[in-house]
Amino acid sequence: QVQLEESGGGLVQAGGSLRLSCVVSEDSFKTYAMGWFRQAPGKEREFVAHINWSGGETTYADSVKGRFTIFRDNAANTLYLQLSSLKLEDTAVYYCAADDPKRGGSVWYPDREYEYDYWGQGTQVTVSS
């Protein structure tokens, strides 16, 4: 079973920065498209960012565009999300997700949860004023 483990969350002041990491247990990570989602208290989980297998293509939610950066290190089986200019509304549990192309083909709609096959347990990000 593929395992995803997020880390790097914490408490940060508004305007600050954090870097989240997601380590994937399989070397086939380099073939996976990856995504970040988040869930704020009392809200549904929402899309944050997506990156293709090579890192050459990225997609962002409008709410984080220009502030967050998704990138990956295929040699280290690790996905990252750099969070900058954080706002109170960025407070949420952040989840990484993986799409295995051998299971369901390519990702057509990167903002849809059903496109992803594996999920991490999440890491809490809390932004304070």
Whole-number pLDDT of residue 108: 85
pLDDT at 1: 87
Q: How would you label 87-112 residue by residue, b for 16+ Cβ within 10 Å and e otherwise?
A: eeebbbbbbbbbbbeeeeeebeebbe
Q: Which helix (H) or strand (E) holds 102?
A: helix 101-104
pLDDT of residue 79: 98
Per-residue pLDDT of the chain (129 residues; tens, 9 = 90+): 899 999 999 999 999 999 999 999 988 999 999 999 999 999 999 999 999 999 999 999 999 999 999 999 999 999 999 999 999 999 999 999 999 998 877 888 999 999 999 999 999 999 999
pLDDT recorded at residue 38: 98
SS (H, E, C) 20-39: EEEEECCHHHHHCEEEEEEE
pLDDT of 107 reads 84
| Contact criterion met (CB below 8 Å) for 49 and 22 | no
| Residue type present at position 82 | Q
pLDDT at 90: 98
Specify the pLDDT at position 97.
97
CB 94 within 8 A of CB 79: no
